[in-house]
Amino acid sequence: MAKSTQLIDNEVFRAFATYTAIVLLKMMLMSLITAYFRITRKAFVNPEDTEAFGKGESAKKFLRTDPDVERVRRGHLNDLENIVPFVGIGLLYALSGPELSTALLHFRIFTGARIFHTFAYLIPLPQPGRGLSWAVGYSVTFSMAYKVLKTAWLL
């Protein structure tokens, strides 16, 4: 069994850890952006969140949906649907012994695609920009999964 110090000495694993930290931090940032939009648009889903803006009936007007808040929430949900599989499959991929240059290409393309996807969602940029960035990131995850399966099952 590999010791954790051996993993840290592995360049592919260090690259994986670096790019995973970047996309996870980006995903966490989406929570803060959602909170910012909720506060600035005064659009909340929980009654206790409206108490700073009034009590009783006057606070109920802040229990509503807002298109900007919903857009950010959809972007965050898309991150959850794509970054979580990347982390799991990427870990298996990093442990499958890929070449450093190939691994870096996978990790960098995925990270760039997810960052672009966020900007495309929040600005919003016209399609097909957002859709293409999603497809690129998704393809990278599939490529890593294929390599893991090929290595593990000798496909």
**CATH number for the domain harbouring residue 108:** 1.20.120.550
Considering the chain, what percentage of its residues have pLDDT values greater than 70?
94
pLDDT at 4: 61
Instruction: Reply yes or no on whether the pLDDT at 60 is more than 90.
Output: no
pLDDT at 115: 98
Structural domain harbouring 139? 1-154
Q: In angstroms, how far is CA 97 from the centroid of its own chain?
A: 24
How many structural domains comprise the chain? 1
pLDDT in tens, 28-58: 999 999 999 999 999 999 988 888 887 778 8
How many residues are listed for the chain in this entry?
A: 155
Is this structure's pTM higher than 0.75? yes
CA pair distance 63, 46, nearest whole angstrom: 7
Cβ-based neighbour number of residue 116 at 10 Å? 18
Cβ-based neighbour number of residue 53 at 10 Å? 13
Token duo for residue 34: 């959602």
Q: Within a 13 Å sphere around the CA of 22, how many CA atoms are in the beta-carbon half?
A: 14
Radius of gyration of the chain (CA): 20
Instruction: Reply yes or no on whether the pLDDT at 91 is more than 60.
Output: yes
CA pair distance 36, 43, nearest whole angstrom: 10
Least confident of 3-7, 9-13, 54-58, 107-111: 3-7
